Amino acid sequence: MRLFLGIDCGTQGSKALVLDADSGRVLGEGSAPHQLISGANGRREQQPSDWLAAFEQATHAALNAAAITGEQILAIGVSGQQHGLVLLDEQGEVLRPAKLWCDTESTEQNQRLLDYLGGEAGSLERLGVAIAPGYTVSKLLWTREQYPEIFQRIAHILLPHDYLNYWLSGRCCAEYGDASGSGYFDVRRRTWDTALLRHIDPSGRLVAALPQLIESEQCLGPIRPQIAQLLGLNPAVRIASGGGDNMLGAIGTGNIQPGAITMSLGTSGTLYAYADQPRVSPQPQVATFCSSSGGWLALICSMNLTSATGAIQQLLELELASFGALVAQAPIGAEGVLMLPFFNGERVPALPNARASLHGMSSDNLSRANLCRAVVEGSVFGLRYGLDLLRASGIESRSIRLIGGAAKSPIWRQIVADIMATPLICPQHTEAAALGAAIQAAWCLDREQGHETTLEALCERCVSFDASSETRPDRGRSEQYEQVYQRYREQVMRQ
């Protein structure tokens, strides 16, 4: 057995798994929750110390579930939620809570930076992405303006997975995939845009605080002895480059060649597909990031998915099973009830200032079942809108690999397949980012040791699919949904 540890540090919690890269089997899994700090004006933050505590707890749980000792782990790969900002001082201490991907408090700063870049078209031309609220770059300008004393103490700028790698190895490094979501990175040339950072801070402090860029198949080095002891791991364990959750989710679903689409049904909804060239779309909602497998990853993200359905579930005081039963009870189109579930604004469609709304209600169709159905359909329509954008940019989408909490629901799977008019299947291990991190760790270690192991071979061995989850669209239902989807688009245009 050759055992690797994969960690995914997400918004709601951290997940860990132990992978035997020889057999492709996941031997054990563990998890631990995170606390979210919410505030006015869209503030969404977390204490990085919570990530460290969850990392330790999830790791011990995974090792115990696998019935192994940490001495057997050869390397660790870390996946992290994208776009977050972790600021460290010269001693490596965290200066303030990390602002997250879903934080929109720096919307004003983002608009000023976008104006400086020449709008969305100028941002796409210069960076390959159109910076948006939630990207890291506007958080830096926000920090300078809101916390000038803290800004003057910045010595290191890290993304969440970079920070965890720093804690593990003592090195400040960034991998191309995660770095490309920062908003101060050129995705075509794979370099930092230092001029943009000097625009924010002419002193050069931010440029000096940038981490070293490394390739996706590189190891940072060995684990720090004190961290190895804390986690109960072999002190010779190597730390892989790691990456953003979407990039490692792509690896964990075997999405490393053109043709497949990975769809994640989590707090947010995400669609991404591999490309071997940086096909930068003229549509600003499509982010063309670097992948963590040597290519590029065209991606769209809707901010309101299970966060929206969860809000309705909580409002109606429903258990998850009861919510699903009501969704199944209502017909396609919810008898005319249509929801735009933009509770906290939206990225795709691009409506950052929008709010949720209900349309088409009457005394005859206003029911709990229709309300539940409408929020699910409205959430999935946002992903369909994004899939249309990906297809328009030349991305192939012959099949969908479905992950995330809602992917476990048969009713969700059928609604997604019918709305997208595309067959789908779920991986055996839906914690795709953690699995991708473990696979990447095996790839990095093999490359470091001079082996010619390919990522394709590792994915073929370690990524398997649940045949019972395979869901095919029904032509008649897809045609019905198309009519409802066009109503959705009409309402979106009026926002």
The helix (H) or strand (E) run that includes residue 420 is: helix 410-420
Confidence of residue 259 (pLDDT cuts 50, 70, 90): confident
Residue 253, CA distances (Å) to 8, 240, 260, 305, 429 in order: 14, 19, 9, 20, 9
Does residue 260 fall inside a structural domain? no
Does residue 208 fall inside a structural domain? yes
SS3 content of the chain, % helix, strand, coil (to 5): 40, 25, 35
Determine the pLDDT at residue 173. 98
Would residue 418 show up in a list of annotated catalytic residues for this protein? no
Q: How many whole angstroms separate alpha carbon 156 and alpha carbon 92? A: 8
Q: How many whole angstroms separate alpha carbon 359 and alpha carbon 377? A: 13
Check whether 397 has a pLDDT greater than 90: no
Check whether 40 has a pLDDT greater than 90: no
Strand partners, 20: 3, 25
**Structural domain count of the chain:** 1
Q: State the average pLDDT over residues 295-312.
A: 93
Task: Read off the tokens for 162.
Answer: 């970079």
Does residue 396 fall inside a structural domain? no
Residue 7 has a CB neighbour count (10 Å cut-off) of 30
Q: How many whole angstroms separate alpha carbon 249 and alpha carbon 447? A: 21
Query: Nearest Cα to 252, choosing from 13, 433, 106, 116?
Result: 433
Check whether 409 has a pLDDT greater than 90: yes
Q: Is 240 exposed, middle or buried (0-12, 13-18, 19+ CB in 10 A)?
A: buried
pTM for this entry:
0.91
Residue 413, CA distances (Å) to 290, 322, 342, 424 in order: 28, 17, 22, 8
Check whether 155 has a pLDDT greater than 90: yes
Check whether 479 has a pLDDT greater than 90: yes
Does residue 59 fall inside a structural domain? yes
* Residue in 245, 418, 446, 466 annotated catalytic: 245
Helix (H, G, I), strand (E, B) or coil at 328: helix
Chain mean pLDDT for the chain? 95
Tell me the per-residue pLDDT of 313-324, one tens digit each, with 9 for 90 and over.
999 999 999 999
Check whether 137 has a pLDDT greater than 90: yes
Does residue 337 fall inside a structural domain? no
Determine the pLDDT at residue 290. 97
Single-letter code of the amino acid located at 429: H
- The enclosing domain of 194 has a CATH number of 3.30.420.40
Confidence of residue 164 (pLDDT cuts 50, 70, 90): very high
Check whether 394 has a pLDDT greater than 90: no
Does residue 93 fall inside a structural domain? yes
Contacts of residue 77, Cβ cutoff 8 Å, sequence gap at least 6: 4, 5, 6, 7, 240, 241, 242, 248, 436, 437, 438, 439, 440, 441, 444
Look up the domain containing 198 and give its range.
Answer: 3-244
Does residue 294 fall inside a structural domain? no
Does residue 313 fall inside a structural domain? no
